[in-house]
Every structure is written in structure tokens, then in C-alpha cells.
A and B are shown apart, each in its own frame.
Chain A
Amino acid sequence: RKEVEQDPGPFNVPEGATVAFNCTYSNSASQSFFWYRQDCRKEPKLLMSVYSSGNEDGRFTAQLNRASQYISLLIRDSKLSDSATYLCVVSLGGFQKLVFGTGTRLLVSP
């Protein structure tokens, strides 16, 4: 089993839709969790950290479910500009233990 698994997609949604991605992780000792966004042929950029209590940033909501070992990202009112690949990142503690998922591709259409 991979350490961090994501559905590669693509998820095709119309503008204005709500879409959610999950990311599962295998190590129950994982401590830190992040979502990064990567546009085509560009570098990953931090979207948000994921806290135990869940957190929201505008149209984006991230949640952590330790019991089932997954994190989720919910995007409300999708925009064309949300089209990108979303990378899940999990850490066992310390930079050298950051593990990247292979990403979920989102395509938002008019």
C-alpha cells in the first residue's frame, strides 16, 4: 500500500459546482497534513495546512479524519481558475518525512 494515495481523476465539474477530494495515508503516526495546488507545468504552491479541527479558507475547506486516516479538500462554487492538480502531503514529523501524493486533477468547465 502506498504511503499516501489520491484518486488521480480527472474530476470534471461545471463552474459553480462543489467538489471534494480525499487523500488516504497509511501511517497512523502522521502528524502534519497539507494541500498543495499545482498548475500545469508550474511549481506546487501551498494551498492550506490541515488542522485536526478542520479549517476553512474562503471557498476551500480541509478536514482531517484520523480514525479513518484520510484528509479531504472541499471546493465550493468552483471557478475556472480552480483547474489544477491538487497534491496531498503528509508528514511523520520533520521535512525529511514529508510524503507527497501523486495528485488529483480537477477540470472546471464553463
Chain B
Amino acid sequence: DVKVTQSSRYLVKRTGEKVFLECVQDMDHENMFWYRQDPGLGLRLIYFSYDVKMKEKGDIPEGYSVSREKKERFSLILESASTNQTSMYLCASGDRLEKLFFGSGTQLSVL
């Protein structure tokens, strides 16, 4: 069965902290994604990666960076967390048919 694992289900951080969100997939997919989901706004793409060490900006990359050193792992980094980054963060991997498989999400609260 397909599996995408996110390291934390809930995180509470303070403004200005550096935050790392980790995601691992076991499907050997080349494509991985980070989305955030906010009420009334739906899912918005932050960054995606189509290969190791490759990354592309999504719709809302400001304030975020990513790292993909290994095929199975895709990390999202908040260099200096701000309150407007409080959100549900969803990692996904994608197959060749544009189907997405999501992790269970990380609810991040920045105080």
C-alpha cells in the first residue's frame, strides 16, 4: 500500500523560529509536493520537486524553502516562522498519471 509519512502531526512554534517539516514516501515516485490548506482557500502549492536536488516554486513559495537530497525524502523549511504560516501542511507524492498521494498532514501553529 502506498505510504507518505510526515514526521509530525502537530507542531507549535514561536515567531522567528526555524521550522523543519519532513516527508518520506515509499512509492519510488519522482514527484513530491508541499501544499498548505487553509479554510476557504483550498490547497495551495508551495513547492514541488520532480527529481533529487530539483525544485520548482509553486503558487505561494514566499517564506519557505525545500530540500530534496534523496528521492524518498522532501523537506519543507520555514526559515523564520511567522503567525501567517499557521496552517495545515500536506506533503504528497505523485505518480505518472498525475495522481497524488498525501501524507496525514502537519498542523502547525506559530505563536
Residue ranges of A at the interface with B (Cβ–Cβ < 8 Å) = 32, 34, 36, 42-46, 49, 87, 91, 94-96, 98, 100-103
Contact = CB atoms under 8 A, between A and B. Distances in A.
Contacts of B100: 36, 44, 46, 95, 98
Contact of A98 (B41, B98, B102): B98
Interface of B: 31, 33, 40-45, 48, 50, 56, 58, 90, 94, 97-105
28 contacts: A32-B98, A34-B98, A34-B99, A36-B100, A43-B104, A44-B43, A44-B102, A45-B102, A46-B100, A49-B97, A87-B42, A91-B98, A94-B98, A95-B31, A95-B33, A95-B48, A95-B50, A95-B98, A95-B100, A96-B48, A96-B58, A98-B98, A100-B43, A101-B42, A102-B40, A102-B41, A102-B42, A103-B42
